[in-house]
Amino acid sequence: MALRADANVQSRLENLAARNSEGTITPEDRSDYESLVSAGNLIAVLQAQARAAKLPMPVSQ
């Protein structure tokens, strides 16, 4: 299962990331950026867990 941000969210994330790297991000926008990154990390962990749950279990000998 692949979950992706819509184009508007992805564009905002890229803009915030660039401004963060440049050091021109406002405190409010930095908070938004951190929230978006945290949400992305959570989704990535959930996707990894879902993939792991679909793997066949090894047979014990």
State pLDDT tens for residues 2-53: 667 789 999 999 999 999 999 999 999 999 999 999 999 998 998 889 888 8
Residue 58 is predicted with a pLDDT of: 65
Is residue 2 situated within a structural domain?
no
CA dist., res. 46 & res. 27, Å (int): 29
With b for 16 or more beta-carbon neighbours within 10 A and e for fewer, the 17-55 pattern comes to eeeeeeeebeeeeeeebeebeeeeeeeeeeeeeeeeeee
Is residue 57 situated within a structural domain?
no
Is residue 42 situated within a structural domain?
yes
Higher pLDDT, 60 or 29: 29
Is residue 18 situated within a structural domain?
yes
Domain that holds residue 39: 7-52
Is residue 60 situated within a structural domain?
no
Is residue 59 situated within a structural domain?
no
Is residue 61 situated within a structural domain?
no
Residue 53 is predicted with a pLDDT of: 87
Is residue 39 situated within a structural domain?
yes
Count of domains in the chain?
Answer: 1
Confidence (pTM)? 0.77
